[in-house]
Amino acid sequence: MTEAITPRPGVVTVTLNAAIDQTLDVPGFTAGAVNRAVAETRTAGGKGINVAAFLAGGSTPVTATGFLGEENTAVFDALFRRRGIRDRCLRLAGRSRVNIKLVDREGRSVTDINLPGLHVPAESWRGLLTVVDDLAAANRTFILSGSVPMGVPDTAYAEMVAALRRRGAFVVVDASGPPLRHAVAARPDMVKPNAAELAELLGRPLKDRAEVVRAARDLSESGIALVVVSLGAEGAVFVEGGRALLAVPPPVEVASTVGAGDAMVAGVVAARLDGVGLEDCARRGTAFAAGTLSRLGPELPSPDRLAELMRAVRVEEL
């Protein structure tokens, strides 16, 4: 049984490289040809921003921090107001990046075009560390997600993990490349790579699910309490305390895969806050991810639909 996170129940998400997700619905998208979009949406994005949106609205206060470009904050401001997310983001000169998602429902594909982010001055990075430390006085759970922008060191998450662990916080890292490698060395409480990111972290290919499970077990045994490895449509592997589970989602109609991994993080964290065991964490995380696949933007389906999806998730002991 996983212990409930009760002493300081607030959740903080940290997004160093926030983005505006411009999603274009382009039936039959073909590279190198003229394509016509039939719909467009613009939503506040960045992995931590998405997690905050998925977690907001419950009994646990949610705070978002990180960096935003002061020239195009309106979409973020609107999200924070609508979802009741406390805004502790630092505003920097310039514009937050725009990530373009070309969604072809006919071909069941999503093409991502990610633009460069802001350049973060050294004093702004130090300022964010001060904000995070201040937030640790009143919040128990921190989720550090996404890429690292120019001006911020690859050791950013590792620095935060070390500082937050000293403050007694539960720390989740969802990143890739060097920032994840450094963060893992600082031993966060939970990581959520996908299979490719885990292989990159270990510096070797993972040829099948058995090798993914073994690698996840090794990572857990190194001192990271909960390791979640997403496998796309095949589900996800959850490893904690020597136990490994595979959670497989039910079939759903896919509108966009954008934010599905962030929804999984939010579902697992929400379950942990309720003090449930590993199987229920796996069910809720997988249901959150499956539920957002049929929607555009960081939105979950209704509670009834989520409950239906949770019941439909197949969980296997590995």
Neighbour-count burial of 303, counting CB atoms closer than 10 A to its CB (0-12 exposed, 13-18 middle, 19+ buried): exposed
Find the farthest-apart pair of alpha carbons in the chain and give their distance in angstroms, rounded. 56
In angstroms, what is the C-alpha Rg of the chain? Answer: 19
262 is catalytic: yes
C-alpha of 25 from chain center: 23
Amino acid at 216: A
- Among the options 21, 25, 189, 262, which is catalytic? 262
Cα distances (Å, whole numbers) of residue 248 to 185, 234, 317: 29, 6, 12
Determine how many CB atoms are found less than 10 A away from the CB of residue 210. 10
Residue type, 193: P
Lookup: tokens for 128: 């964010």
C-alpha 165/C-alpha 53 separation (Å) is: 24
Structure-block tokens of residue 191 = 């990581």
> Mind telling me the catalytic residues?
262
